A and B are shown apart, each in its own frame.
Chain A
């Protein structure tokens, strides 16, 4: 499945090739010539808006269509993380620079490489501006580093809809923007304005809109891959991993993890609300199977170790599947569930079954806890040094594998 994990020289040469095409198309679009770009802001030639929005919707349609039919894993695609404050301030200053300088960084490179002197001065200016930012960065760092940080979020995420809805909406908006651009070129017409479209161009435009609309509606109809669809797709692999019990960790291993300050861990308790209120492991979050099937999983950072638990194992294993189908997520199940945890740390049964032995119960809480104290019981996170020696020394086969996070690198300055 796309994308590939390109490394080393392959990555560099592919990027060089893409850069070549990028520069070539920018030049062909007329973006190496400052007056074509500045014209956008004087409304007589809307070339910038037309090229940019057409490019955005073309790539957007193809990306989300490929994701919908399952040949592109969107979770592995780099989405520039949102730092809303810096994005707003930076964007605004960039816009000011556009009017004064007539280029943006990419187009100024193209301009300079076609021998435009103003383009060369602009590139020099970009480097100076960045150096200026560097000089100011000690003071700006807090804002730059955390000013409205929301991580990798997309418009469909914050709207809580399938990406297809946003794709269709953006597509329709872009078409309206094009209509506005054509109108604006007539209203603010100057000598340099482009000639009205010929019948051939009109036909081409109608055809392109038709194809685009078809892809957008198709993407929406198929929908982005849900947890259920992914699970069906990876059924065999998930089954094997469950059957050989490589994902079930011993309560003692979980306890060790809870005291490990080096790793980020996320404990997910998928039992019903009342069991959770009666007792849960310290720092375990209550989450339902439905929530896991929705977008909730996206909030899990790549480096984190996830441990899912229920009273025994059945429900937790179902929940584990929802989490584990997402690429890059390192997830496990608490072997024997909360019941075995309580056997060991409440009832002090050092000889409780080990992680290779499945739980037998029907996922109900076996322990009659006297009070509903949630995680305020001592055994919600027992201190290893206060445990009886046989419990503290409980042997287990370590299953947790630490993975180095595989992350896509950004395109910009980050």
Chain B
């Protein structure tokens, strides 16, 4: 049995991992006609949770209402199952590879607290952006890119543009 104290197994070669990821995406499209996704699941859990504490707010809100206002149940959606699958698959792979580890991944010159704040901040920008773009790197860039969607390619270019634009000024976070 593997555990977290042993030396982690090396990652797959990126090209091999890419082919594996491409095959998963292709299988999904071939069988169900749909691609992959991640942010949709989070958005629906958020909507479901908000609905419990403030139903009228969800009903009146254009974005949350769109995801699960009125009689619609935001949680009865395949993206929730996708999300569970991703978490489970990630866990199993990390476990088998001896890579389960309670830690904070950060650049060498960043304190733990700064890293946590930045993770929330970066996550918030991602969440906002994914809501605006109707998808994140999985649903838009990867799935939409493979079927040559116009908006998805524009999206992908902008992700790299945004990243490279501020990478240098924020280099202390990672280098």
Contact = CB atoms under 8 A, between A and B. Distances in A.
Q: Do A and B share a complex? A: yes
Interface string B78-116: 110111111111111110010111111111000000011
Interface in A330-371: none
Contacts of B159: 91-92, 94-95, 98
Interface stretch (A53-61, A228-236, A251-259, A380-388): A53-61
Given A3-B29, A91-B162, A110-B90, A102 B85 contact: no
B132 to A, nearest CB: 4
B77 to A, nearest CB: 8
B115 to A, nearest CB: 6
Nearest to A153: B150
A76 B33 CA distance: 6
A58 B26 contact: yes
Interface in B9-59: 11-40, 42-43, 45-46, 50
Nearest to A65: B26
B70 interface: no
Interface in A121-162: 121-135, 137-138, 140-141, 144-145, 150, 152-158
Given A3-B33, A24-B92, A103-B123, A411 B148 contact: no
A15 interface: yes
B35 to A, nearest CB: 5
Contacts of B164: 41, 95
A83 interface: yes
A132 B152 CA distance: 23
Nearest to A157: B150
B131 A104 contact: no
A128 B105 CA distance: 21
B132 A89 contact: yes
B83 A19 contact: yes
Interface string B142-158: 11111111111111111
Contacts of A89: 129, 132-133, 158
Contact of B154 (A22, A88, A95, A121): A88
Contacts of A42: 167, 171, 174-175
Contacts of A109: 38, 83, 86-87, 90
Interface in A22-56: 22-30, 32-36, 38-42, 46-47, 50-56
Interface size class of B (residues with CB under 8 A): 35 or more
A19 B91 CA distance: 12
| Most chain A CB within a 10 A radius of its CB, from B136, B142, B148, B158 | B148
B122 to A, nearest CB: 2
Given A35-B105, A105-B42, A80 B149 contact: yes
B151 A82 contact: yes
A79 B174 contact: no
A106 interface: yes
Given A90-B130, A94-B126, A99-B162, 6 more contacts: A94-B130, A95-B165, A100-B173, A116-B101, A152-B149, A411-B82
Interface of A: 2-6, 11-30, 32-36, 38-42, 46-47, 50-60, 62-63, 66, 72, 74, 76-84, 86-119, 121-135, 137-138, 140-141, 144-145, 150, 152-158, 163, 166-167, 170, 178, 194, 201, 204-205, 208, 408-414
